[in-house]
Structure 1
Amino acid sequence: MNYLPNIIFAILLIFGIGYFTKNVKKLIRNIKLGQDVDVSNNKKERFKNMMRIAFGQSKMVRRPIAGILHAIVYVGFIVINIEVLEIIIDGLLGTHRAFSGIGATYGILIGVFEILAILVLVSVTLFWIRRNVIKIRRFWNKEMTSWPKNDANYILYFEMVLMTLFLIMNATDVSFQSMNNGNVISQFIAPWFSNLPEVTLHIIERAAWWLHIVGILIFLNYLYFSKHLHILLAFPNTYYGSLKPKGQFNNLESVTKEVKLMMDPNADPFAAPAEDTNEEIPAKFGASDVQDLNWVQLLNAYTCTECGRCTSSCPANLTGKKLSPRKIMMDTRDRLEEVGKNIDVNNGEFKDDGKQLLGDYITHEELWACTTCNACVEECPVSINPLSIILDMRRYLVMEQSAAPTELNNMMSNIENNGAPWPYNQMDRLNWKNE
Structure 2
Amino acid sequence: MSILPNIMFAVILIAGGGYFAMNLKKIIRNIKLGQDVNRSDNPSARWKNMALVAFGQKKMFARPVPAILHFALYTAFVITQIELLEILIDGLFGTHRFFKPSLGGFYTFLISFIELLSVLALTATVLFLSRRNLLKLPRLNMKELMGWPMKDANLILIMEIILVCCIFTMNGTDEVLYNIGKSHFEGQGSFGFTVSQHLGPALFGNLSEGTLHVLERAGWWGHFIMVMAFLNYLYFSKHLHIIFAFPNTYFANLNPQGQFDNLQSVTNEVKLMMDPNADPFAAPAPDADATPAKFGASDVQDLNWVQLLNAYTCTECGRCTSSCPANQTGKKLSPRKIMMDTRDRLEEVGRNIDANKGVFVPDGKSLLNDYITPEELWACTSCNACVEECPVNISPLSIIMDMRRYLVMEQSAAPVELNNMMTNIENNGAPWQYNQMDRLNWKDEA
TM-score of Structure 1 vs Structure 2, range by shorter chain: over 0.9
Instruction: Kindly provide the amino acid, as one letter, of the partner of residue 390 in structure 1.
Output: I
Q: Distance in 2 between matches of 1:231 and 1:391?
A: 27
Equivalent in the alignment of 2:182: none
Q: Contact (CA 8 Å) 1:53, 1:59: kept in 2 or not?
A: yes
RMSD: 1.7
Q: Distance in 2 between matches of 1:63 and 1:175?
A: 44
**Residues 117-165 of structure 1: CA distance to partner in whole angstroms, max 9, x if unpaired?**
1111001111111111111110011111211111011111011110111
Equivalent in the alignment of 1:256: 267
Equivalent in the alignment of 2:282: 274
Three-state SS of the structure 1 residue aligned to 2:364 is coil
Equivalent in the alignment of 1:98: 98
Equivalent in the alignment of 2:11: 11
Structure 1 residue runs of 4+, over 6 Å off? Answer: 277-281
Aligned counterpart in structure 1 of residue 228 of structure 2, from 210, 217, 223: 217
Which stretch of structure 1 is more off in the superposition, 333-342 or 94-103?
Answer: 94-103
Q: Distance in 1 between matches of 2:235 and 2:402?
A: 27
Equivalent in the alignment of 1:45: 45
Q: 1:313 to 1:274 in 2, by over 3 A?
A: same
**Residues 266-291 of structure 1: CA distance to partner in whole angstroms, max 9, x if unpaired?**
45xxx753224799996200000000
Three-state SS of the structure 1 residue aligned to 2:260 is coil
What does 1:224-239 correspond to in 2, within 5 Å?
224-239=235-250
Q: Distance in 2 between matches of 1:180 and 1:7?
A: 30
Q: Percent identity?
A: 65
How far apart are residue 312 of structure 1 and its match?
0.4
Q: Distance in 2 between matches of 1:243 and 1:212?
A: 40
Q: Distance in 1 between matches of 2:7 and 2:109?
A: 31
Three-state SS of the structure 1 residue aligned to 2:361 is coil
**Residues 321-349 of structure 1: CA distance to partner in whole angstroms, max 9, x if unpaired?**
00000000000000000000000000000
Equivalent in the alignment of 2:183: none
Three-state SS of the structure 2 residue aligned to 1:401 is coil
Three-state SS of the structure 2 residue aligned to 1:19 is helix
How far apart are residue 432 of structure 1 and its match?
3.9
Q: Aligned pair 1:326/2:336, yes or no? A: yes
How far apart are residue 265 of structure 1 and its match?
4.1
What does 1:170-209 correspond to in 2, within 5 Å?
170-173=171-174, 174-177=176-179, 179-190=189-200, 191-209=202-220
Q: 1:418 to 1:427 in 2, by over 3 A?
A: same
Equivalent in the alignment of 1:413: 423
How far apart are residue 415 of structure 1 and its match?
0.4
Instruction: Kindly provide the amino acid, as one letter, of the partner of residue 84 in structure 2.
Output: V
Q: Aligned pair 1:393/2:403, yes or no? A: yes
Three-state SS of the structure 2 residue aligned to 1:261 is helix
How far apart are residue 82 of structure 1 and its match?
1.3
Q: Distance in 2 between matches of 1:15 and 1:160?
A: 24
How far apart are residue 109 of structure 1 and its match?
0.8
Could you tell me which runs of 5 or more consecutive residues in structure 2 were left unpaired when the two chains were aligned: 180-187
Q: Distance in 2 between matches of 1:183 and 1:176?
A: 12
What does 1:86-165 correspond to in 2, within 5 Å?
86-101=86-101, 102-165=103-166
Q: Distance in 2 between matches of 1:51 and 1:73?
A: 18
Which stretch of structure 1 is more off in the superposition, 82-91 or 181-190?
Answer: 181-190
Three-state SS of the structure 1 residue aligned to 2:2 is coil
Q: Distance in 1 between matches of 2:228 and 2:286?
A: 50
Q: 1:278 to 1:114 in 2, by over 3 A?
A: farther
How far apart are residue 253 of structure 1 and its match?
1.0
Q: Contact (CA 8 Å) 1:227, 1:303: kept in 2 or not?
A: yes
How far apart are residue 222 of structure 1 and its match?
0.3
Q: Aligned pair 1:404/2:414, yes or no? A: yes
Q: Contact (CA 8 Å) 1:170, 1:176: kept in 2 or not?
A: no
What does 1:33-72 correspond to in 2, within 5 Å?
33-72=33-72
Q: Distance in 2 between matches of 1:386 and 1:290?
A: 13
Equivalent in the alignment of 2:363: 353
Which stretch of structure 1 is more off in the superposition, 90-99 or 301-310?
Answer: 90-99
How far apart are residue 362 of structure 1 and its match?
0.2
Instruction: Kindly provide the amino acid, as one letter, of the partner of residue 155 in structure 1.
Output: I
Q: 1:90 to 1:314 in 2, by over 3 A?
A: same
Three-state SS of the structure 2 residue aligned to 1:59 is helix
Q: Distance in 2 between matches of 1:427 and 1:70?
A: 58
Q: Distance in 1 between matches of 2:207 and 2:435?
A: 94
Equivalent in the alignment of 2:353: 343
Q: Contact (CA 8 Å) 2:191, 2:197: kept in 1 or not?
A: no
Instruction: Kindly provide the amino acid, as one letter, of the partner of residue 222 in structure 1.
Output: Y
Instruction: Kindly provide the amino acid, as one letter, of the partner of residue 270 in structure 2.
Output: V
Equivalent in the alignment of 1:310: 320
TM-score normalised by structure 2 residue count? 0.94
**Residues 46-68 of structure 1: CA distance to partner in whole angstroms, max 9, x if unpaired?**
00000010001100111111111
Q: 1:310 to 1:17 in 2, by over 3 A?
A: same
What does 1:420-431 correspond to in 2, within 5 Å?
420-431=430-441
Q: 1:255 to 1:161 in 2, by over 3 A?
A: same
How far apart are residue 427 of structure 1 and its match?
4.5
Q: Distance in 2 between matches of 1:195 and 1:360?
A: 61
Q: Distance in 2 between matches of 1:104 and 1:308?
A: 44
TM-score normalised by structure 1 residue count? 0.96
Q: Contact (CA 8 Å) 1:104, 1:181: kept in 2 or not?
A: no
Q: Distance in 1 between matches of 2:423 and 2:401?
A: 20
Three-state SS of the structure 2 residue aligned to 1:113 is helix
How far apart are residue 180 of structure 1 and its match?
2.9
